[in-house]
Structure 1
């Protein structure tokens, strides 16, 4: 057969990239197993998980610098740095390692403990602190995924704790039923409080950020007022605290009296599974995500934006209210003005840190709880200011919220940037005219 190209015909080889010849012993796809492994590692390092891990490492490094800067031994050694520089480096290293070692022992595992129970008690304490954080952060994440900024988790946690606690100490029901009704009371409290903001946004266009922030203050002062009434205070007591929750309404302990870890942790796991199913497997969750992605297209497709906004806020508030109920029924067991602490605001941080995904939120909640618990132990054991832990938490959120900054610091490529195709020389066809 002639190798010449017929007039008017085009060659299927000229001007088209040709596949590379497979390397001997390589898979049929043309890429070696080493290439695929390197590509997978690159995707992990430059993806959300890799950036989150690097952000945490970077925050620990900066936190270590701050720990060394405030240590008196390091400051003393810095005074004669030029005569003996090794003393400064040694003091800084000892300061940072001792602080982080104390944090680890206080949050995860204490190898110096006398018994196994005492050794793992820090981990159980981390799980206890993280439980309401995870549940509340899941509620905040539902709003984020739907394009709504529910900044009112604090007020919704307070209302959930208020109604759940009231049912727990004022009603006297059989064991099992009492706990269930108290949890439902907390869910209703948070759902109603967030539903107010959702209704105002849907009917009047009032921005949910402003409304929920104002409702936070209303909830706080409402609880303060209720703790001055006879229905919410102990008879004959002048203290602004409620009676203790009945044992029939308390979340049972999971490991016995030596640990505070209670069944609320199981509730947190179930809540994470529920949010995963809601947002990825249900029709209503698809509507939530569609409205958050493009409300105009959703309206064109027949989705009621007003109804969806209300449902999103009610769902978000219900989870925050459940967190408040778990807090009082499992850990505090008594209403006070500071029952919520900064739980609702920390939940926003955890939701951002977990990128509004249930698994990410679960892990971020454990991390945040560990920093909280371990930070207090670090302060007591080494004298390091607890503010350093707050700085680390803030830095983690800062770096998580700015992936390009983390990639620039570690010189990582942007996975969303288009990759340039390799240009190969065109093959020469035998017999083709110039």
Structure 2
């Protein structure tokens, strides 16, 4: 009997031990694995709001009545906030160019390179005690190097030899006076160098600018507008060089600086149409002058002739051209004369503009181009500044070449 009771007790103990182990293992399986030390801490999302039976009882808050809110009375206009006005770009400030009269005298220092080669070079040679054949050859070479041209050089040397022989003893002042007289004769003082920017009709004066691209043609057009504005004239610009978008933009910028309007057309459009519209606008506005910048493509003389001839014919449906200015780069020297001949055959050139005269030792191109075309140099460019385009004055030019 005791044995049976002992066996039952042992069985109950065994069953208890086994049950504890099972419960323990189940509890271990329900626990999630511990996160590794390096894993970031995850924040639980906020609890969702309760709805239906689980919704919270709303809190009591004081509410305003209609009287307290103060609604506007019927018919009272409601002020709405206006959107901010778009920023309007400021118009560029209008510049007042300096007077054109006497500019060449003020800019005489810009002729330093031509001065040392042509004027002072000749004066130094003529001041030698003995003027032999070798010295006269040097004088001739100096003139040719300065692009005076063969025929004008021979004429000048011949006159100088004759006058020096008659003069006998030569002081520095006598030689300077002699050289000044002969150079003035060579440059020419009997040309009419005034700009024809006034029409005899009740229309603006019409100026057409021609020349090869790269000579400073568009810049010259803009600077000429400043010259006219400085003289109290109102100007309209015609951007008829439609084959270069940069030329149109550049000309418009020049015009805006002095308050001159620029008439332009589409890129690659008909230049004659733009020129026609520019003159039409000039007449409508009562402008004093219209300046037309033309294309300078010199591929073939035939194409150039057709294009410029068409511009001229179309413009003259409004009024005759008063001035046709040919722009030449002074640094090209004798090569510029080839261009001059072509343009002279295409249109009737009435005047010459020599640009970049401050950057060359070839001041004699003034003489050569006048001899070639039979028309005067009317304007010279002596720098990159906006007011560095000066009316050409022979006396001031020669004085600048010879120096003090």
TM surpasses 0.5: no
TM-score, normalising length: structure 1: 0.26
Q: Which has the higher helix share?
A: 1
Q: Which has the larger radius of gyration?
A: 2
Q: Which has the higher contact order (CA 8 A, sep 6+)?
A: 1
